[in-house]
Structure 1
Amino acid sequence: MPYVPTAVSTGFRALSAVAPPLAIRLGTRAFWHVGPPAPVRPVDRAVHERATRGTVRVAGDRIVTYRWGDAGAPRVLLVHGWRHRASRLAALVRAFEDAGLAVVSFDGVAHGDSSGRRMSALDQVAAMHAVQEVEGTFAGVVGHSVGGLAAGLALHDGFAADRFATLSTSTGFDAVAEAFLRLAGLPDRLHDRFCDHVALSFPGGVTDARARIDLVAHPVPAGLPTLFVQDVDDRMVGPVQARRLHAAHPGSELLVTSGLGHNRILDDHDVLDAVVDHITARNGARSAARFPASTASS
């Protein structure tokens, strides 16, 4: 989700009061703004540089792929979120390698070293299917933020994987728009008009994005072992959405943490252990839900 500076949100708040249509148009432009590719973090540099690179094509865009580990080992696919790149999942790469799995990831459209100008959850879905044509079935899929949403939608549509875990993931299109409106300073009363305007401007001429991008209405296949991980201090995605996803996926597991926010959750050792345990089915069945005592009823 795009970062919205305080000065910009103040301007949107004022503009929405006097010229709502203009606020919606400018808000939509900001919503789609990707900005320059995120650099590889120094802490992730070693993992990034030792990957074996490849490419796949999605609707004319060149998608850069990455592979780590023994080519003969079971593989897990990692799917990054907005304004990130595959290397941001380096801690997960190391954790899965330590568990004996090979890892595959990719830079989404308009992210990292891939080409393109705009990226949506459906672009991530298309990239996943393109990667699967090359790599085959995966032992597991792990997604973060919009990458988690895309991974769930891809699994609903037939992407082949044995297990699924997602971190900091929203329920769908409307939830992402709601979070953006809040951060941008646009009032809730503009929600439906804003969603409709964003949907009309969707990449690739998609006409039903608002309905399609909904992981509650389009859950992963029944019986697919699924773990949702969410932090109560995430300003982008709140625990209520994780609970809705958990409820929409009978038999799924839910882990709610605190103090990690939207992105630090990717580097937390306990979270990494939980995700690896789930994908590899280590240590038996985990509890269906874990909440910090202070937030169990929130």
Structure 2
Amino acid sequence: MASSRVKKSTIVRAKFVRTGFGLLERVAPALGGRLALRIWCTPRHARPSAAPQPGVRHLVPLHGSTVLAETWGSGGPVVYLVHGWGGHRNQLGRFVAPLVAAGYQVVAFDALSHGESGPGTLGRRATLPEFADALTAVVAEFGPAHGIVAHSMGATATALAVLDGLSATRLAFIAPMADPMAQTHLFARFLGFGDRVHRAFIARLEKVAGRAMSSFDIPSRATGQTLPPLLVVHDERDREVGHVNGEALASAWPDAKLVSTNGLGHHRILTDADVLHEVVTFVTAPTPAVPC
């Protein structure tokens, strides 16, 4: 009975929001764009879970705030774990033990406005460039990235950082978003606004991000570049970030392999034993020597 009441309440709120945005589309698109930006930049936080094994905690300064990082192992090449939008560092915790056992140091962190990290420049809201900046700051703190394993929007942020100059030997993206601009149109349909609010929303988003939306189109930017080898793992039934994103990214990246799963969705894919094995095997594989 309680579940039924919650479902009805959610439907009522959704109708109210869509009606409101429909009105703003007609009479106040600038206000609609401002409200859309607020919703877009506000993460829906996943409930934090405990790490499989506690690591050593560190605070890394960034933009006048702090990023909470956690490390496991020591002395070996470094592999970084990057959570997705609304996530936290322990979501990729299953990767820690096998990577440490293979001789790697593992570093995971909470992006600004996520988990135990401090707020970003927008308070408890966040932006994709801040995600990328957090990764870059953590790599500067703990050393060159042999590998980066990233999920969802964290994969997009990782790709953005790499395309902007961050060095890494191997990358593994799980359920990546290929182009956030395409996602903004799905967002518009979900909230019920049209082109006028969408234009105002994108203008504000670009101003906050400090760069054009075209710079986030990872497949377009990756085409023809010299980039590290990439493994893309994506579920064919992912309802949050469609499988087409993984296909597009793997097709455009110069040295990429796509592994498709079926039935794991957007989050269970992070705990699947076969996915874990595939990713760890790829990240720890010997790097071929470059001919002289």
Class of the TM-score when normalised by the shorter of the 2 chains: 0.7 to 0.9
- For 1:251-276, what per-residue CA distance to the aligned partner results, in whole angstroms no more than 9, with x for missing partners? 31011111111111111111111111
Aligned to 1:32: 41
* C-alpha distance in 2 between matches for 1:96 and 1:179: 37
Letter in 1 for 2:103: G
Aligned to 1:145: 152
Aligned to 1:14: 19
1:100 deviates by: 3.2
Cα–Cα, structure 1 residues 223 and 114, in superposed 2: closer, same or farther, change >3 Å? closer
State which of 98, 102, 108 in structure 1 corresponds to 2:111: 108
Mapping of 1:280-291 within 5 angstroms? 280-281=284-285
1:145 deviates by: 1.0
Q: Is the 8 A contact 1:153 1:218 kept in 2?
A: no
* C-alpha distance in 2 between matches for 1:268 and 1:184: 33
TM-score under structure 1 length normalisation: 0.82
Cα–Cα, structure 1 residues 269 and 192, in superposed 2: closer, same or farther, change >3 Å? farther
Cα–Cα, structure 1 residues 162 and 234, in superposed 2: closer, same or farther, change >3 Å? same
Unaligned runs of 5+ in 1: 285-298
Q: Is the 8 A contact 2:32 2:201 kept in 1?
A: no
Q: Is the 8 A contact 2:24 2:197 kept in 1?
A: no
Letter in 2 for 1:74: P
Letter in 1 for 2:256: S
State which of 122, 135, 152 in structure 2 corresponds to 1:128: 135
- For 1:91-134, what per-residue CA distance to the aligned partner results, in whole angstroms no more than 9, with x for missing partners? 12233234332210111001111111222221121111211222
Q: Which has the larger radius of gyration?
A: 2
Unaligned runs of 5+ in 2: 1-9
Mapping of 1:258-277 within 5 angstroms? 258-277=262-281
Q: Is the 8 A contact 2:34 2:200 kept in 1?
A: no
208-217 or 151-160, which deviates more: 208-217
Is 1:175 equivalent to 2:190 in the alignment?
Answer: no
218-227 or 169-178, which deviates more: 218-227
SS at match of 1:217: helix
SS at match of 2:254: coil
Letter in 2 for 1:238: G
Q: Is the 8 A contact 2:21 2:191 kept in 1?
A: no
Is 1:60 equivalent to 2:67 in the alignment?
Answer: no
Q: Is the 8 A contact 2:33 2:199 kept in 1?
A: no
Q: How many residues align?
A: 269
* C-alpha distance in 2 between matches for 1:139 and 1:101: 9
Q: Is the 8 A contact 1:12 1:23 kept in 2?
A: no
SS at match of 1:10: helix
Letter in 1 for 2:141: V
Letter in 1 for 2:111: G
Letter in 2 for 1:51: G
Letter in 1 for 2:92: L
Aligned to 1:215: 218
Give aligned-pair identity as a percent: 33
Q: Is the 8 A contact 1:13 1:187 kept in 2?
A: no
